């Protein structure tokens, strides 16, 4: 789908990957409804995006509340007349060994990372199917493919989002609606400090990883190219392939590999 002139709902737009996507999409001429809970941050992103001369609305939405998610879709339809693209980006991490995983924390992270995208998809999909065009973008993770120590709960939510994306893609394939799963690896945002559980001592608190604008560009490209799945940076695809071919390596040395990866990221990408 052409990004220029597309009407897009983007959740989690107040900072991090969502902010980068908002700026990239506005540069490419998309109209945006930006959603998140932090009103001031959201308004700053919206003001920046408006400088590109596109139509930008911001809306305070807590995606953990189904009614607010449905109201977000209604508002976008009212402003734009139709929604071409839904980007489910809002999400959070959960850092805990499974032996200490709090079921309430896991339920909350499932609500934000999996149920909220589902509620939004069900709200936009009927009119996309009626028109025979539309695009759903879900922001998953490399953790949609590989589970690792201390991230079992988080991975469970992102595996679920991948499964839902894969099924939906097959279901709507012949009806003009595309489905993308974006799979970021470590990206330099405040994602870890915003995680539930106890990230301290388990994950690097200082933002490390690839620059966030890489993900913004990847999201815009995925819409333009109707890509099914995109890894950011692209080399994570090789890691996922290697893990699928030889899962015993992660089983035997997962802890050590995670520590090695974290040390590398802190040293070279911090």
CB of 254 to ligand NJP, least distance (A): 16
The full DSSP string for 176-239 is: TEEEEEEEE-SBSSSTTTT-EE--TTTS-SS--SB-HHHHHHHHHHHHHHT-SEEEESTTHHHH
Among 22, 25, 63, 147, binds ligand NJP (CB under 6 A): 63
Q: Is residue 154 flagged as an active site residue?
A: yes
CB 188 within 8 A of CB 208: yes
Alpha helices, H only, 95-151: 103-110, 116-131
**Taking CB under 6 A as the rule, does residue 17 contact ligand NJP?**
yes
Of residues 72 and 128, the one with the C-beta less far from ligand NJP: 72
**Taking CB under 6 A as the rule, does residue 89 contact ligand NJP?**
yes
**Taking CB under 6 A as the rule, does residue 64 contact ligand NJP?**
yes
Which of 108, 154, 235, 236 does the annotation list as catalytic? 154
**Taking CB under 6 A as the rule, does residue 202 contact ligand NJP?**
no
**Taking CB under 6 A as the rule, does residue 7 contact ligand NJP?**
no
d(CA 266, CA 262): 6
**Taking CB under 6 A as the rule, does residue 166 contact ligand NJP?**
no
Q: Taking each helix axis from N to C terminus, what angle separates 236-245 and 247-269, rounded to the nearest 10 degrees?
A: 160
Residues 92 to 151: which contact ligand NJP by CB under 6 A?
92, 112, 139, 141-143
Binding-site size for ligand NJP (CB under 6 A) equals 33
Catalytic residues, by residue number, are: 154
């Amino acid at each position: 789908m052409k990004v220029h002139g597309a009407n897009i709902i983007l959740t989690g737009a107040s900072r991090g990957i969502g902010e980068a996507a908002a700026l990239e999409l506005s540069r490419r001429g998309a109209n945006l409804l930006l959603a998140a809970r932090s009103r001031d941050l959201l308004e700053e992103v919206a003001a920046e995006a408006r400088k590109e001369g596109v139509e930008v609305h911001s809306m305070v939405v807590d995606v953990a509340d189904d009614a607010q998610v449905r109201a977000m879709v209604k508002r976008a339809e009212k402003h734009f007349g139709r929604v071409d693209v839904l980007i489910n980006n809002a999400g959070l991490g959960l850092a805990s060994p499974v032996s200490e995983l709090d079921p309430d924390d896991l339920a909350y992270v499932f609500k934000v990372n999996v149920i909220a995208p589902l509620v939004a998809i069900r709200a936009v999909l009927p009119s996309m199917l009626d028109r025979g065009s539309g695009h759903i973008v879900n922001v998953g993770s490399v953790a949609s493919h590989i589970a690792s120590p201390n991230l079992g709960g988080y991975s469970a939510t992102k595996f679920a989002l991948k499964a839902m994306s894969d099924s939906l893609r097959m279901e709507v394939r012949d009806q003009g609606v595309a489905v993308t799963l974006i799979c970021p690896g470590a990206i330099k945002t405040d994602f870890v400090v915003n995680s539930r559980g106890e990230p301290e001592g388990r994950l690097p608190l200082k933002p490390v990883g690839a620059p966030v604008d890489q993900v913004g560009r990847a999201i815009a490209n995925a819409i333009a190219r109707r890509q099914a799945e995109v890894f950011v940076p692209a080399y994570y695809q090789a890691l996922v392939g290697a893990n699928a071919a030889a899962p015993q390596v992660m089983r035997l040395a997962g802890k050590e590999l995670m520590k090695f990866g974290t040390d590398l990221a802190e040293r070279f990408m911090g």
